[in-house]
Amino acid sequence: MIGVPHVERFVIRGGNKLHGEIKISGAKNAVLGIMPAAILADGPCRIENIPDISDVRMMIKILRHIGAEVETPEEGVVVIDGKNVNANENIPDKMTRKLRASYYLLGALLGRYGNASVSMPGGCYFGERPIDQHIKGFEALGATVSTESAVVVATADELMGSSVYMDVVSVGATINVMLAAVRAKGLTVIENAAREPHIVDLANFLNSMGADVRGAGTDVIKIRGTANMHGCTYSIIPDQIEAGTYMVAAAAVGGDVIIQDVIPKHLESITTKLEECGVTVIEGDESIRVVSNIERPNACRVKTRPHPGFPTDMQPQMAVLLTTCKGTSHVVESVWDNRFKYTQQLKRMGANIIVDGKTAIITGVDNLNGAPVEADDLRAGAAMVIAGMMAKGTTTVTNVNLIDRGYEKIVEKLSAVGVDIVREVFDEE
């Protein structure tokens, strides 16, 4: 009908077991820190294994908005040259609301030009998402940071290396301080740093440009500032959370799936949990095979923690698997204040979940039933897809644009291993 918005949804018919191979794309949370970092170099950076997801397309828009030259010469590749960047260009609210990671431009612009202005970030809502630790780090390096009418402005005549102790383990703050520190004068020590694989990937990228970053992957990162950084060629690591999502999907519906292009070490906490549930996981050099013929998973206790603990970005997916567990499982969310909103959608499908503060108590049921549900956020949306694959009958998932933020070709990848899933455009009444 004219004027009625076209909306996309997934239609999933549950019950199919999975067989075949799924190839994992580059890591979203690595590439969103690495693309802004490219403007720190005095020449172009060629970055490969870029996932084709909407968050990357938004980051390209933001980089072009401040004057960076961004080419996409072939699939999975971007070439970024920051030589014409205008550090005085504000990154407006209409952009930062769509991509929380836009705030990495604060660290990159401050690090390169001593000046940055970025509207307060948006992103998935799991309760408060402050940036006090980012600001603490910038101020430790000698910057003046103010928040005028929801725009964060950071300036510094000269950034000086310093010690920064993070009051809370923060991926974003660790990345932002790394970006500001690589060209500061002297030594910066970040203590209580995040240890995620994407932190290590960023450090390796920065070092490829001539920076001196040591200790990434531990909770102490030491950065010796360098005056000049040059262009480089770099390939992004595989996406730990995309791989984990498909591991849990295979465990949930059964079958035998090989997930290709992964780093098994990044998946250890997920592998351990799936084995606890009774699933067989076989590690290859760059692949992981999930063999599942369990009717219902064993009940277990999951607690999310910063890496190398069980990732918070895998919490909704794991909770869905446990909706049909034998007995009662507990899922504790220790990173975010409010990341159980999606359980309301699961209850529509027959799940038995009681949320008590930071704990979801899941009593296993025989099966889920298909229903119309929506994606509350990126990972909750992926969890709804898994729920639809498990359920008896048909499930429709709306707000799939949120899923497309972080999962490249999810419909194609799942269809190729036997899932009955289609993407439909329909007129929203």
Yes or no: say if 145 and 152 are a contact pair by the CB < 8 Å rule: yes
User: Of the candidates 57, 125, 168, 344, which one interacts with ligand EPZ according to CB under 6 A?
Assistant: 168
* From 124, 232, 277, 325, active-site residue: 124
Question: Is 357 a binder of ligand EPZ (CB under 6 A)?
Answer: no
- Report strand pairing: 287-292 vs 301-303: unpaired
The residue with its CB nearest to ligand EPZ is 172
Q: Is 129 in the site for ligand EPZ (CB under 6 A)?
A: yes
Closest to ligand EPZ by CB, 47 or 325: 47
With binding defined as CB under 6 A, does residue 152 bind ligand EPZ? no
Per CB under 6 A, 245 contacts ligand EPZ = no
User: Position 138: which residue type?
Assistant: F
Here's the x/- map for ligand EPZ, 275-314, by CB under 6 A: it reads as: -------------------------------------xx-
User: For 283, what's the count of Cα atoms within 13 Å in the CB-facing half-sphere?
Assistant: 14
Q: How far apart are CA 43 and CA 128, in angstroms?
A: 38
Q: By CB under 6 A, which span of 12-20, 70-78, 121-129, 413-421 interacts with ligand EPZ?
A: 121-129
Cβ-count burial 206-215 (b if 16+ within 10 Å, e if not): bbbbbbebeb
Cβ closest to ligand EPZ, residue 312 vs residue 323: 312
Q: Is 173 in the site for ligand EPZ (CB under 6 A)?
A: yes
- 124 carries an active-site annotation: yes
Q: Which two tokens stand for residue 414?
A: 């799942």
| 223-261 residues labelled b (16+ CB within 10 A) or e (exposed) | bbbbeebebbebbbbbbbbbbbbbbbbbbbbbbbbbbbb
Q: Which one of 15-23, 128-136, 199-207, 417-425 is the stretch in contact with ligand EPZ (CB under 6 A)?
A: 128-136
Residue 379 contacts ligand EPZ per CB under 6 A: yes
CB atoms within 10 A of CB 88: 12
Interface residue with ligand EPZ, options 9, 134, 273, 296 (CB under 6 A) = 134
Which range binds ligand EPZ by CB under 6 A, 64-72, 86-94, 125-133, 275-283?
A: 125-133
Region of 287 on the Ramachandran plot (φ > 0 left; ψ -120 to 50 alpha; else beta): beta
Out of 29, 207, 324, 343, name the contact with ligand EPZ by CB under 6 A: 29
Tokens of 90: 């504000």
For the bound state, the minimum distance from the C-beta of residue 426 to ligand EPZ, rounded and expressed in Å, comes to 26
| Token couple for 96 | 């930062």
365: left (phi over 0), alpha (psi -120 to 50) or beta: beta
The distance of closest approach from Cβ of residue 331 to ligand EPZ in the complex, given in angstroms and rounded to an integer, is 15
Sheet holding 187-191: strands in order across? 163-165, 187-191, 220-224, 212-214
What separation in angstroms does the CA of 362 have from each of 136, 178, 325, 340, 367?
39, 39, 8, 12, 13
> Of 138 and 234, which CB lies nearer to ligand EPZ in the complex structure?
138
Query: How far is Cα 60 from Cα 53, in angstroms, rounded to an integer?
Result: 11
Nearest-approach distance from CB 256 to ligand EPZ, in angstroms:
28
Segment interacting with ligand EPZ (CB under 6 A) among 166-174, 212-220, 276-284, 317-325: 166-174
333-344 CB burial, b ≥16 within 10 A, e <16: bebbeebbbbbe
135-to-63, 101, 131, 147, 418 alpha-carbon distances in Å: 22, 15, 6, 10, 47
Indicate which single residue of 336, 340, 342, 407 sits in contact with ligand EPZ (rule: CB under 6 A).
336
- Closest approach, Cβ 428 to ligand EPZ, in A, equals 25
**Residues 192-231 as x/- pattern, contact with ligand EPZ by CB under 6 A:** --x-------------------------------------
Find the shortest distance in angstroms from Cβ 254 to ligand EPZ.
26
Q: How many residues does the chain have?
A: 429
Q: Which residues bind ligand EPZ (CB under 6 A)?
A: 28-29, 32, 101, 124, 128-134, 168, 170-173, 194, 312-313, 335-336, 378-379, 406
* Residues annotated as catalytic (active site), given as ranges: 124
